[in-house]
Amino acid sequence: MSAPARHAPRRHLHSVADYYRMAEAGILAREAHVELIDGEIIDTAPMGSRHAIVVDRLVHLFKRAVGDRAWVRSQNPIRLGDFSEPEPDLALLRWRDDFYAAAHPAANDVLLIVEVADSSLQYDRDIKLPLYARHGIPEVWLIDLDSNRAERFITPGKEAYGECLELSGTVAPILLPDCRIELPKLLPG
């Protein structure tokens, strides 16, 4: 008698469609702080006041700087394939007259993503940055509130960005070089 075949346990990955069906069915509460990353539903921490003020300042500064050349979106979904829908702190998107009313933006709509990190630094660096790179997001800024440091990630590759540069002073996204942001204005004094 032969022994039964043994299989390693497999994760059940959720698609974006599954994710929305769970929300519609009430499995995911409306107030839940979650993101779908590579098929897994990830709990995210509620935002502290320092994090919130930096995100608010980013939105304000970018809206003034870009005008009608790009759409500024804060903490709303970006659809990255069938298994990921992160909610970056800020995304600069290609302008569309319909304001993305028909569907969430996809990777090819994104000009820049900005993640603000305090307690989320390791998650942003180890999970979200590789996800953004795999999907070809051209540029990501990571603002580390604990160290008052900002980094720019460019040249997306299969699992990581090819270049990481420290940001300081007045900076602009690569795809909107005349959209200048003064980083010192972002950090609470």
CATH superfamily of 47-185: tt1808, chain A (3.90.1570.10)
Q: Which residues of the chain fall below pLDDT 50?
A: none
Supply the DSSP symbol for 106.
B
Determine the pLDDT at residue 40: 94
Q: Both tokens of residue 129?
A: 């940055």
Q: Residue 168 has which token pair? A: 């300081």
Report d(CA 16, CA 81) in Å as an integer: 8
pLDDT for the residue 4: 61
pLDDT given at position 10 = 78
- At 74-106, the pLDDT tens digits run 999 999 999 999 999 999 999 998 989 999 999
Amino acid occupying residue 76: N
Check residue 3 and give its pLDDT: 60
Predicted confidence at residue 5, as pLDDT, reads 62
DSSP state of 114: E
Rounded-to-integer distance, Cα 83 and Cα 20, Å: 12
How far, in Å, CA of 71 to CA of 58, rounded? 13
pLDDT (0 to 100) of residue 162: 98
Nearest by Cα to 112 from 68, 70, 49: 70
Res 186: pLDDT: 77
Whole-number pLDDT of residue 184: 85
